Structure 1
Amino acid sequence: MYAISLGEGGAELRPLEPWRAEEFLAHMERGREFIGRYIALPDAVTDVESSRSYLQSYADKAAADTGRIYGIWADGTLVGGVLFRTMDVRLGNAEVGCWLEPAAVGKGLVTRAVRVIIDWAVEERGLHRVEWQVAAGNAASVAVAQRLGLTKEGVLRESYPYRGKRHDIEVWSVLAPEWRSARTLAQRS
């Protein structure tokens, strides 16, 4: 197995595989309320069986080359994750997503982890467009999109019914030439 350093504090990005179902469930329990403010992941992972099933669905996506899921570990504890919710290599498009438990907020872990997977998508897989969809009220996730240099394309008004309320979804994206250009500029500074 591999791990990619996310810098300070010994944080690492690793594949999040079905055999980690109990660890994933424990992580969801620690962050259930916080994570569930804007995404349904905690609703899908409620016991070991559903945890394993969720992770298996991404193992199946990885095998079919249609998605991936990675965990973020800090000091040996699973504290969050990033994923390609969808990935269409033939069309060159993917959608990224993220989540984090409260103890790991404010450390830049998601920004660094998403940067790693976008680099991989663009450079290794040759994807042209990476999209980020976020509930408009999720200021932390919007800030990640901004820090990564994604472009806000628009708002899907009240398109996401969640927990009895309809949420606006902002659509952000980056194209491969923009990503490469921004990375080149960052390396020069």
Structure 2
Amino acid sequence: MFAVTLADDAELRPLEPWQAAEFAAHAERVRRDVIDFIPWARTVVDEASARDFLQRYADKQVRDEGRLYGIWVDGVLEGGTVFRTFDAAQGVCEAGVWLGTGVRGRGLVTTAVRHMIDWAFGVRGMARVEWYCDPRNTASAAVAKRLGMTCEGVHRDAFVLDGERSDEQVWAVLAREWRA
């Protein structure tokens, strides 16, 4: 297992099916903080559903189609990052994040995603890292901007959450921009 230090008290580590009980407890703690924008906040309601969610990402990783990481602060799971999609053949992936309100404002997400982007471009040779967010999620858009991403536009009515359609902002950074 590996861990990437994000701060003196925080680290980024893989989030895997064997951690289902911990993830279920985390989901319960942060549900109100993330439910407006994070689909799993509605579906991860117990250890079994947490294990199913984590297993889907473990299966994606085996197929080289996605990855899931947790952010631990003082040993407590407080958030996470994800390559929701990862298409090595096309050189395009999508990064995503969530974080409980109690540890926001410390740069943990920005630092974690910076490590992910470095890996995607430097190790995996990706050409483009994308970031999708609801335009109302100004905190998410702010992270994309801090990472040097460009807002490329809005997909109207492109995302369904709890039966409601919403718009999606599309942000991206290209490998040549990241290296510069």
TM-score by length of 2: 0.97
Whole-angstrom distance in 1 between the partners of 2:48 and 2:156:
35
Cα distance in structure 2, aligned partners of 1:154 and 1:24 = 33
- The sequence identity of aligned pairs, in percent, is 53
Question: Does 2:65 align with 1:66?
Answer: yes
- Counterpart-to-counterpart distance in 2, 1:71 and 1:13: 6
What are the ranges of 5 or more consecutive residues in structure 1 without an aligned counterpart? 182-189
Letter paired with 1:133: Y
* Aligned position for 1:112: 111
Q: Which residue of 2 aligns with 1:4?
A: 4
The Cα of 1:129 is off from its aligned counterpart by 0.5
Cα drift, residue 161 of structure 1:
2.6
What SS does the aligned partner of 2:86 have?
strand
- Report the Cα distance in structure 2 between the residues aligned to 1:41 and 1:143, rounded to whole angstroms: 22
Distance in 1, matches of 2:65 and 2:161, equals 25
| CA offsets 1:20-43 (integer angstroms, 9 cap, x no match) | 101111111001011111121111
Structure 1 residue runs of 4+, over 6 Å off? none
CA distance in 2, matches of 1:132, 1:72: 18
Query: Structure 1 stretch 168-177 or stretch 98-107: which is displaced more?
Result: 98-107
CA distance in 2, matches of 1:87, 1:66: 4
In terms of fraction of residues, the more helix-rich structure is 1
How far apart are the structure 2 equivalents of 1:175 and 1:158?
A: 25
Instruction: Letter of the 1:76 partner, please give it.
Output: G
SS of the aligned residue for 1:59 comes to helix
* Structure 1: distance between partners of 2:151 and 2:163: 26
Matched, 1:46 2:45: yes
- Cα RMSD (Å) of the superposition? 1.0
Q: Deviations over 1:90-119 (max 9, x none)?
A: 110101111111111111111111101011
* Per-residue Cα deviation, 1:57-98 (whole angstroms, up to 9, x for no partner): 111111110100000001110000000000010110101111
The aligned counterpart of 2:21 is 22
Give 1:164 deviation, angstroms: 4.8
Normalising to structure 1: TM-score of the pair?
A: 0.92
